[in-house]
Structure 1
Amino acid sequence: MTKKITMQDIANQLNISKNSVSQALTGKAGVSEKTRHLVETTARELGYEYLPLRKNYHYSSDGKTIKIALIASDYAFSLKGFFGEIYLSMEKEITSQNNSLMIQSISKEAIESLELPSFILNGAVDGVLILSHLRTEYIQKIISTGIPAVLVDHHHPHINADAVLTNNRFGAFIAVEHLVKLGHKEIGFVGNISISPSYYERLEGFQLALNQYGLNKDDSVILTDIEEDEVSVKVAMKRVSKQPTAWFCVNDGLGFLVSSYLLQSGYKIPEHISVANFDNGQLSKLATPKITTMDIDLELFGKRAVEQLLWRINNKETANQEILLPATLLVRESTGPAPK
């Protein structure tokens, strides 16, 4: 019977400690890149069965702790339900790998004056995670320092950096397709596409679904400049001369406000009008009825962003990448068959 190769066998072969072998094979800090490569090569040669795929790039070439900065606008940090969960996932991923995290909220004044945090200007961090959107010129200034950066839930044609994003177009397509399959042919859109590229992409996904299923686009119910507050939604909805049989809203806040307006106006959801939205935040769960939505895996969002930044630190010359994460349809009580 062939003896199974163990970590101790690899350690004996290389005349190093078993702990060093474990650190190398599990991707932990504490060993040099040269030792890590030697351990992996020897493990393969000896036939070690539990050699993992090298997915985690959480070490530096000299085995030292990597210093990561997380920055976002004051507004983004205030949205604890969405960005808060992404931030917590990032923190968990970074600290679990014995790397360090520095967090900085960027004021509106600093963004306007292009004032970077001192730890970026001084090169005191190895990489930067930029959560949500900041002014394009501000992000460009960060990138000009040469510190590797990854954008999280934001991108722009003029920003040359990696980005981890939701697949907004396909997510919106799936949500609208769900409404179409319920028999809805008159579907409206509510959002403010100037706020975020994500919202514009969700409009594109909405239109893609209409085209796919041969439905007419009615501009009178495609509301693309609606502020996320009760008064704005009420004014906009009152201007709609004929309600569609379903609304797709770009986020939970607008989904909640649209649903509230419809109920206050005497409509039943979903008997008269169905409502679907995006993000699966608290408001879609608290609404009555609960709102059908596209769920984003926020923990995966944070984890994948950290992985990409650590990979980028070790691969600075490789072409920039955009990573699209899927959204999942959660069907709830707010969507039903189109009224006959």
Structure 2
Amino acid sequence: MSSKVTMQQIADSLGVSKFVVSRALAGKEGVSDTTRERVIQMATQLGYFAQKNAYMKTVQTEQLPKVSKQHRQSVLVLMPNIRFQTRESLYWGRILDGISARLEADGYGMVIVSEQSVDHFAHFLNPNGILGLIGVGEISTSLLLEVHRLGLPLVLVDHEDPLIPSDTLFANNFESVYRLTRHLIGIGHRRLAFVGSTDYSRSFYDRYLGFRSALEAEGMGDGLGSSHNAQLLAVDGLQHEDAVEPVKRWLEERKREESLPTALVCANDMIAIGAAQAVQSLGLRVPDDISVSGFDNIEDAARMTPPLTTVNVPKEALGKRAVERLLKRVEEKDEPTEKIMLACELLYRGSTTGGR
């Protein structure tokens, strides 16, 4: 049987004091962000977080606001207001709707927290008043560390953190874009490009991998040429206006080189809407000159002209399944964590047609 990993072992591995390790894992001041990250990474490598009661209980329950008994069965939904992760979002808002509907059906309350500061967030972390936590979208490691320190059951939707063990839920991003790209190739497209930043999220990266794998399965390599990055146009931002100018400039260059793509596979619908506007601003037609596809199936996708070919993410279902997974985790705290992927539906609309 393996021996318990101690703070002293972590300290010895890094050449720092046990005091530094203790403060870093406890989230206390007096330790730089760089040192804290090194401590967390080493603790992960040594298996410290896999142990029961790995964290010091630094937050004293009696110092936190008490929650009345009738409100004790509540779930904290953490969705920091970054990168358009808001309740008004056509994507994130639908996931919240699913969480809310399932909690209400089961008789639980919901508290939505958009706080990004660890210090302020600790105000909400009263283990006596919270059943568990569901994180929606991108959340910093420091915030997740606070949740894990208190031992609260945790489920993440559309996000994962290699340093924090938790159940996670995703749409099947890789398989969906793989199927979509194979479809475009099947109807004649031979010059395809992926539009979106692979650094934005795990979901975007998996969608790009699905695109790449489909090209490789067809023996098409990079899709547009010999350069590894020829088929990837990294667009910063998530709104349609963020994509218009970068895509327009890129297409103008391709046009001069007589190497225009015949299909753009976009990381999400908003980017696809901006890409379609860029295509049309150059006097090109969608889909006759360039086909455009998106991902998510937000309401605006069906309203654009022509309607957008996209992948329908079961957004409400993601929220409902997150609640189900959390309730199961409450009952089975020591069971292995799970990564759940929900299948998506491909919606072929007027923005794509056969390639030339």
TM class, shorter-length: 0.7 to 0.9
CA distance in 2, matches of 1:134, 1:101: 18
Which of 63, 69, 73 pairs up with 1:66? 73
CA distance in 2, matches of 1:114, 1:167: 35
Q: Structure 2 matches for 1:47-58, cutoff 5 A?
A: none
- The alpha-carbon distance between structure 1 residues 85 and 78, as it changes in their structure 2 partners (threshold 3 A), is closer
CA distance in 2, matches of 1:67, 1:121: 11
- Matched residues, number: 272
State the match for 1:60 in structure 2: none
1:123 Cα shift? 4.3
Q: Is 1:146 the equivalent of 2:151?
A: yes
Q: SS of the counterpart of 2:245?
A: helix
State the match for 1:253 in structure 2: 270
State the match for 2:350 in structure 1: 333
Q: Is 1:222 the equivalent of 2:232?
A: yes
CA distance in 2, matches of 1:97, 1:122: 20
Q: Structure 2 matches for 1:269-308, cutoff 5 A?
A: 269-308=286-325
Q: Is 1:179 the equivalent of 2:184?
A: yes
CA distance in 2, matches of 1:337, 1:86: 34
Amino acid at match of 1:66: Q
CA distance in 2, matches of 1:227, 1:297: 23
CA distance in 2, matches of 1:252, 1:262: 15
CA distance in 2, matches of 1:308, 1:232: 40
- The alpha-carbon distance between structure 1 residues 289 and 91, as it changes in their structure 2 partners (threshold 3 A), is same
CA distance in 1, matches of 2:253, 2:162: 35
CA distance in 1, matches of 2:180, 2:88: 24
**Which is greater in Rg?**
1
State the match for 1:87 in structure 2: 96
Say whether the 8 Å CA contact 1:190–1:226 is kept in structure 2.
Answer: no
Q: Which consecutive aligned stretches of 4+ in structure 1 deviate over 6 angstroms post-superposition?
A: none
- The alpha-carbon distance between structure 1 residues 124 and 238, as it changes in their structure 2 partners (threshold 3 A), is farther
Q: SS of the counterpart of 1:159?
A: coil
Amino acid at match of 1:234: K
1:79 Cα shift? 4.8
CA distance in 1, matches of 2:236, 2:261: 17
Q: SS of the counterpart of 1:116?
A: helix
Which of 321, 324, 332 pairs up with 1:315? 332
State the match for 2:133 in structure 1: 128
CA distance in 1, matches of 2:78, 2:250: 35
1:239 Cα shift? 3.8
- The alpha-carbon distance between structure 1 residues 138 and 338, as it changes in their structure 2 partners (threshold 3 A), is same
CA distance in 2, matches of 1:115, 1:237: 46
State the match for 2:54 in structure 1: none
State the match for 2:47 in structure 1: none
Amino acid at match of 2:113: Q
CA distance in 2, matches of 1:191, 1:227: 9
Say whether the 8 Å CA contact 1:194–1:225 is kept in structure 2.
Answer: no
Residues 241-276 of structure 1: per-residue CA shift (max 9 Å, x gap) = 421111100001110011111111111111111111
CA RMSD of aligned residues (A): 1.8
Residues 92-119 of structure 1: per-residue CA shift (max 9 Å, x gap) = 1101111121121124xx1xx5642422
1:121 Cα shift? 4.6
State the match for 2:67 in structure 1: none
- The alpha-carbon distance between structure 1 residues 227 and 266, as it changes in their structure 2 partners (threshold 3 A), is same
1:213 Cα shift? 1.3
CA distance in 2, matches of 1:198, 1:257: 20
CA distance in 2, matches of 1:199, 1:79: 21
Q: Is 1:235 the equivalent of 2:249?
A: yes
Unaligned runs of 5+ in 2: 1-70
Amino acid at match of 1:161: S
Compute the TM-score of the two structures, normalised by the length of structure 2.
0.72
- The alpha-carbon distance between structure 1 residues 238 and 158, as it changes in their structure 2 partners (threshold 3 A), is farther
CA distance in 1, matches of 2:124, 2:143: 15
Amino acid at match of 1:268: R
Amino acid at match of 1:227: G
- The alpha-carbon distance between structure 1 residues 185 and 231, as it changes in their structure 2 partners (threshold 3 A), is closer
Compute the TM-score of the two structures, normalised by the length of structure 1.
0.76
Unaligned runs of 5+ in 1: 1-63
Say whether the 8 Å CA contact 2:102–2:320 is kept in structure 1.
Answer: yes
Say whether the 8 Å CA contact 1:154–1:163 is kept in structure 2.
Answer: yes
Range 299-308 or range 122-131, more displaced: 122-131
Amino-acid identity (%): 28
Amino acid at match of 1:286: R
